[in-house]
Amino acid sequence: MRLSSRSSTTSRRGAAIAAAVSRRSPARPVCMAGAIRPQPLIAGAFEVNDLVTHRWQLARSGNRGPQVYDRPTDRPLRVLMADDHPTNRAVIEVILSLIDADLMAVEDGAQALEAFKRGAFDVVLMDLQMPVMDGLTAIRGIRNFEQEALRGRTPVLAVSANAMSEHVAAALEAGADRHIAKPVVPEALLDAISRAVAEAEASGVDLRAHAL
């Protein structure tokens, strides 16, 4: 599947969020829950202004944007994201606006589990510390539902500031396929999505059929 920067409602909303954030004072830092990155940001840090500038450059050049993985498709990648912090949701939304993705964002693990049962997604991005239901419990619920419903294994990526070895191990044990540390690096997130979805498809999981 090849992901591009083709516009969608979600992409336009993400661009609007990025533009709004980019109008802040240059002296103020970009924040994510559990992490603060001051300006100017060094390599590897996330900067909303950089993504906005990159989107404008792509639009002007006619470039289709980041190519995450290379299989033709006639639909966007369907992504379910759970995070209780609005800034974190905005950051992920801006990153996904760089590719052809439809994003459903929820605020806790219980909402994520319910959305997963009612919908069909190519990949799930799950924060670990959330109210109502934490991410580990939600991931276990997703895996149990897949077994009960005889559905294939959908890639789940834990996205959390809790990035010590025991946190990563707990996420994998709960059923996550990967762990992405916050603050999120756009290239790392897109690469992780690419690899997780490609591996699922290689194992025989028909993600396209689930999402249609």
Confidence band for 27, pLDDT divided at 50, 70 and 90: very low
In the chain, the domains with their CATH numbers are: 1-212 (3.40.50.2300)
- Predicted local distance difference test score (pLDDT) of residue 98: 85
Average pLDDT for residues 180-200, to the nearest whole number?
91
* Closest residue by Cα to residue 155 from 211, 108, 71: 211
pLDDT in tens, 50-91: 554 555 455 445 554 444 444 446 789 999 999 999 999 999
| Dihedral, 66, 72, 76, 80 alpha carbons, nearest 10 | -80
pLDDT in tens, 141-159: 999 999 999 999 999 999 9
Q: The whole model's pTM is what?
A: 0.71
**What span, in angstroms and rounded, lies between the C-alpha atoms of 53 and 59?**
10
Q: What is the DSSP string of the chain?
A: --------HHHHHHHHHHHHHHTS-TTSPEEETTEEEPSSPPTTS--HHHHHHHHHHHHHHT-----------SSPEEEEEE-S-HHHHHHHHHHHTTSSEEEEEESSHHHHHHHHHHS--SEEEE-SS-SSS-HHHHHHHHHHHHHHTT-----EEEEES--SHHHHHHHHHHT-SEEEESSPPHHHHHHHHHHHHHHHHHTT--HHHHH-
pLDDT in tens, 29-49: 334 444 433 333 223 334 445
* Closest residue by Cα to residue 103 from 178, 189, 176, 21: 189
Contacts of 124 (CB under 8 A, 6+ apart): 79, 80, 81, 82, 112, 116, 142, 154, 155, 156, 157
- Predicted local distance difference test score (pLDDT) of residue 18: 45
pLDDT beyond 50 at 133: yes
**What span, in angstroms and rounded, lies between the C-alpha atoms of 9 and 80?**
15
